[in-house]
Amino acid sequence: MEKKILFLDLDGTLLNDKKEITEENLAAIDKAIEVGHAVVVTTGRPRGGIIAQIKALKMDRPGCYAIAANGATIYDTHTGEVIYENGVPKEYLRYAFDEAYKYGVFPQTYTREAVLAECDTPELQYYCNLVKMSYEIAEDVSAVLDYDPIKMLFIHLDDRNKLEAFRAHMESWYQERKLEVFFSCDRHLEWLPEGVNKGSGVRFLSEYLGISYENTLAAGDAENDISMLQAVATPCVMKNARPEMYKYGKYITERDNNHSGVAEIIERFML
């Protein structure tokens, strides 16, 4: 049997709407790993925001990896060793944050251990509760960081259109600086370094592990999953995805994220 590798998005894919992993998904992933395949959590969340999921999936065992922050961090989940990391130039933070405030959009970035923001707001509390991370407040985020953070994240809890307007306003600015900008869900607009996305992470880790393209699979539901879906031989799109996402899948699940659609993929293509 040739080893296959499945790259899994978390929110809207592996996790149900309650942010839980179903028993059926857990069992299918465990079986896939036991027979020698690889399953890789591939998420927009930073490394510190996926600790609980990694443990629940028993993917802190030898030979397991995760792609975090939409490809900005790739690490060995057993040893904790970071095998790849990249960051947004910190000198970009001040202007981007100030423009976000004008559009009523909440900006944040990251230290190595925590979410970093300039004010405590409902958006910050929502996000930290979602990913189970602590946070730090600084008067000027660009002044306290002495390294390039993994990404910037812009949030609006109620109106995706405000994030769309902010993205349109900033388009020429971020294109000149060659930043990757995309939605990970209706509430989150992600900004990453040039060439860094889930797809780049998928290609890096597949090559690192010596797994051929023909044996790569991925499952996702949102815009930030497109590059990942385009980087594998068998892209699978969740039934619950926006309809415009369906064209990126060779397979559309019959079950959604609330009904163990990931188990469906594993049973069909890996077991």
Do residue 231 and residue 209 come from a single domain? yes
Do residue 144 and residue 201 come from a single domain? no
Q: What is the CATH number of the domain that holds 34?
A: 3.40.50.1000
pLDDT at residue 63 in the model: 84
pLDDT at residue 62 in the model: 87
pLDDT at residue 1 in the model: 79
Longest dimension (CA), the chain: 56
pLDDT at residue 52 in the model: 87
Do residue 167 and residue 261 come from a single domain? no
Which residues of the chain, if any, have pLDDT below 50? none
Report the length, in residues, of the chain. 271
Domain count, the chain: 2
* Residue 88 falls in which region: left (phi positive, over 0), alpha (psi -120 to 50) or beta: beta
Question: Which of 264, 235, 265, 224 shows the shortest CA–CA distance to 11?
Answer: 224
Do residue 203 and residue 225 come from a single domain? yes
Could you say which of 156, 175, 192 is where a domain stops? 192
Q: pLDDT digits over 36-93, tens only?
A: 999 999 999 999 899 888 998 889 988 899 999 999 999 999 999 999 999 999 999 9
Q: What is the CATH number of the domain that holds 149?
A: 3.30.1240.10
Could you say which of 152, 174, 192 is where a domain stops? 192
Do residue 96 and residue 180 come from a single domain? yes
Residue whose token pair is 């306003």: 169
Structural domain including 104 reads: 90-192
Could you say which of 144, 172, 192 is where a domain stops? 192
Do residue 211 and residue 184 come from a single domain? no
